[in-house]
Structure 1
Amino acid sequence: VLDEPAGRRRTAPSRRSAALAHALQDAELLVVEGESAKALRARLHEVAAFAAQVSYGQVADLAATLQRELRGLAHRAAVVVTSPEDAERRLTHLADLLESGETAYTAADGRSFLGRASGPARIGFLFPGQGSGHGTGGGALRRRFPEAAEVFDRAALPTTGDMVATDVAQPRIATGSAAGLRVLDALRLEASVAVGHSLGELSALHWSGALDEDTLLEAARVRGKAMAEHSSSGTMASLSVKPERAEQLIEGLSVVVAGYNGPEQTVVAGPVDEIEEVQRRAERSEIPCT
């Protein structure tokens, strides 16, 4: 766990990024608050009813208006929406949760949130490890922000081949983290603490100022290359299941549970041919496996 670095240099968003930020978005963030759960519920119903009457283009105006009205009240709700209908549905759902007595909620897709602030807010960054994503193009982040495009251009990642191979995945993921951090810096979104998951520890060290960006990308490249060259006899797979279910999938094989990434994500390791058998078993059971 790393504390906030001292003296991080902040750069202003480019003119293009600023213009895009004021343009019509694919999605908007609607934030609502109240002095109590009851007041928040009433406000959610009010905003939901209004959202149902606006045009697609006016959703951005609604988001801006709600943001300007924030007073730092304790009971809070937020939704990421793509249309007036989506806004009405998500806001109403949160109001219904409050009606049933729920005071804390995070949707599985991360687009609806309900909670109560109990003190000063702190932002923490969690940098991902190997197993995250599978593309090297940079996606919308690269297309939208020149700050991110610059990082990807300099990294010169491969565009063909096995994108999840260790020697490709590690520099790819570190590049994405560095690009994302550039964008967060430009948008003035600052954290007070950061942690990294495995490979992500390097990105957290970069955030803290211990590694510059070039060193981060080179360290990830060398790390990935070394691990690929010295682990040819075995491999890993990530199963989206609890450890108990993972144990059932590897039964009878020379495969072991190698990591507990989360309540519903278990990593197994073993010989390549036996991990392939685990993947086949997972596929037959309709269990996500990467």
Structure 2
Amino acid sequence: MREAEKTPKELDCFKAELSESDFQAFSNYIFIEYGIKMPPIKRVMLQGRLLKRIRELGLKSYTEYKNYFFSQEGQEKELYNFLNVITTNKTDFFREPIHFDFLTSTVLPDFVKNNPTKSFKIWSAGCSSGEEPYTMSVVLNEFKRLNPTFNFSILGTDISNQVLEKAARGIYPEQKIEFVHLDLKKRYFLKSKDRHNPTIRVRPELQASLTLRYLNLMDNSFDIKESYTSIFCRNVLIYFDRTTQEKVINKLCQHLEPGGYFFIGHSESLSGMNVPLQHIKPTIFKKI
């Protein structure tokens, strides 16, 4: 029965609350499988986010959705959608710009000086819808304009296939680059002609050096063969408890070259953690 045909009584089922026991089942699963904290204060948030999926599936309650999700069929067919529901993917171009300034002023000049023939490899762990790795690409392409022999590659990983697909498209609302310097806008972004839905598309040169792939930071090991000169793991650790944060950072550092740089978000801290990183500046670290 289509939603338009449902009676008021049938629609009332969607007003039911997510019970504490059902919330706990989801919360435990999310933490065990993906390391993401979902404390009781998040119950209302999860309830609201699951509502759309319940309606789309034509289910009648949160318990019915829970039973479906934990069934074999649900784990095969619904996991993709569930992950997109529980993950928050807010990001912008040149977010926390001090990190990109540090790349330009310190990391890249030192790298070229000490590794004149080596390719610079940078990893955006938790790349969301692509604004961060495309910002990296802008910065690195700008550096290459002044240093023609400089080569680089960028890896962007995330737990949500939905945002990875958006990143691969490289199309964003025009206001996303509102505060990007005019020269960079002209050089690296294409503006749509649709006045009713103004969008921008990243130019092919920004995509040429970028690889996007799915990665769960809770996996025991990462299927990544390369070592990276710099790793950005910003505004990702806040979803994990302290023990999980330390484990994730140590796994990431296994793929960070000695002397490589590690960047975290301004709301995050590594204080007191047993990790192979030396504090350089606020939210910027170097592998020992």
**What TM-score do you get using the length of structure 2 for normalisation?**
0.22
**What TM-score do you get using the length of structure 1 for normalisation?**
0.22
